[in-house]
Homo-oligomer: A and B are copies of this chain.
Amino acid sequence: MDQLLANIKIQVNDKIYVKDPETTTLGRKIIKNSLIMMDEIGFDNFTFKKLGELIGSNESSIYRYFENKHKLLVYLSSWYWSWIEYKMVFATANITAPLDQLLKALEIVTEKIEDDQNTPYINEALLNKIIIAEFTKTFLTKEVDEENKEGFFLIYKRVINRMAAMVILIAPAYPYSKSLISSIVEGALHQHFLKDHFKTITDCNEMVSPSDFYKHLIQHLLSPKS
């Protein structure tokens, strides 16, 4: 799978960017270093001017790729979920038992990510940290509805619907498949945050991962006895 991932171009809605950053050196530099900088100072303190200074490039050059920093974050998120979706489809393709399939998918959306080395200008470990800390900001805006119509969140929603479909295969009578999965996907990011910042309201830590918690939840909730 590592080899295959190297040959796949992650798809991102082209309305998100002004110019596709994957096509030029500067574009890739923007992506790579925006990850480093956002991780370091956070999205709120991040500006195109600072990024320009970091990469020895002009602020206005960055505006040629992204309208504003919000769109850049939407781009990074979209890339992330597209990459997750790819990993998920691939990892679950050969699994026949629906429950095992769901557990595998669950692992992929809830685990802590390591850099996968196949995308030279995207450090997935960093990106995962940024998603944990900043993803909700992409849609908690007054412009959500418009941006949703433009399809900015399509891949994210597709990932959730794929998993919800697996839930239905396992437990056709369970009435909350979508809410369960959207709750888990969002919740996993939240639990990662809690274990780093609000340790007193989570059971997750070095030994227990959000994956463990949610696997247990799924198994007890969807097992045939209940």
A residues whose Cβ falls under 8 Å from a Cβ of B: 41-42, 44-45, 133-134, 136-137, 139-142, 144-145, 148, 153, 157, 160-161, 164, 175-183, 186-187, 190-191, 193-194, 197-198, 200-204, 208, 210, 213, 216-217, 220-221, 223, 225-226
CA distance A184 to B187 in the complex (A): 8
Q: Within the complex, which residue of B142, B153, B180 is in contact with A198, where a contact is CB–CB below 8 Å?
A: B153
CB distance from A187 to the nearest CB of B (A): 4
Chain B residues whose C-beta falls within 8 Å of the C-beta of A186 in the assembled complex: 186-187, 190
Whether B201 and A161, one on each chain, are in contact in the complex, defined by CB atoms closer than 8 angstroms, is yes
CB distance from A176 to the nearest CB of B (A): 5
CB distance from A213 to the nearest CB of B (A): 5
Chain B residues whose C-beta falls within 8 Å of the C-beta of A177 in the assembled complex: 203
Chain B residues whose C-beta falls within 8 Å of the C-beta of A160 in the assembled complex: 201
Chain B residues whose C-beta falls within 8 Å of the C-beta of A216 in the assembled complex: 175-176
A159 nearest in chain B by CB position: B201
Whether B144 and A197, one on each chain, are in contact in the complex, defined by CB atoms closer than 8 angstroms, is yes
